[in-house]
Amino acid sequence: DAGITQSPRHKVTETGTPVTLRCHQTENHRYMYWYRQDPGHGLRLIHYSYGVKDTDKGEVSDGYSVSRSKTEDFLLTLESATSSQTSVYFCATMPGEREASFSEQFFGPGTRLTVL
């Protein structure tokens, strides 16, 4: 398993406050992803990164921004949290195309975020 950690693991915040979630990996994987998981919706991609400072939007990117200043860290920011962003957030990584397991994605343990 890729060494992927997420922090914090749990957070309760109030509507309108900014929130930043951190994903840290120790496997030197090129690609990193942020998903949210809600009942009835499965895993939905928020943003992804294909390299340092290279990011793009996923299917549910509104209200979220990301940054990747170094290979190992991928930050997800909710600029002004809303109750609809209450969810479980997962970070994932994938190796680059030159690696044997390049089509395998590895997940972090998740962050449970509650916006009151």
Binding site for another protein (CB under 8 A): 1, 30-31, 33, 42-45, 48, 50, 56, 58-59, 90, 94, 97, 101-110
Residue (85 or 111) nearer to another protein, CB: 111
* CA distance readout (Å), 64 to 1, 29, 35, 76: 27, 23, 11, 7
Residue (5 or 80) nearer to another protein, CB: 5
Write down the least CB distance from residue 7 to another protein, Å. Answer: 14
* CA distance readout (Å), 12 to 5, 65, 67, 87, 103: 19, 19, 22, 11, 34
Write down the least CB distance from residue 43 to another protein, Å. Answer: 5
Q: Which amino acid is at 55?
A: T
Q: For residue 105, how many C-alpha atoms fall within 13 Å in the half-sphere facing its CB?
A: 13
Write down the least CB distance from residue 17 to another protein, Å. Answer: 25
Residue 84's DSSP bridge partners are none
Write down the least CB distance from residue 59 to another protein, Å. Answer: 4
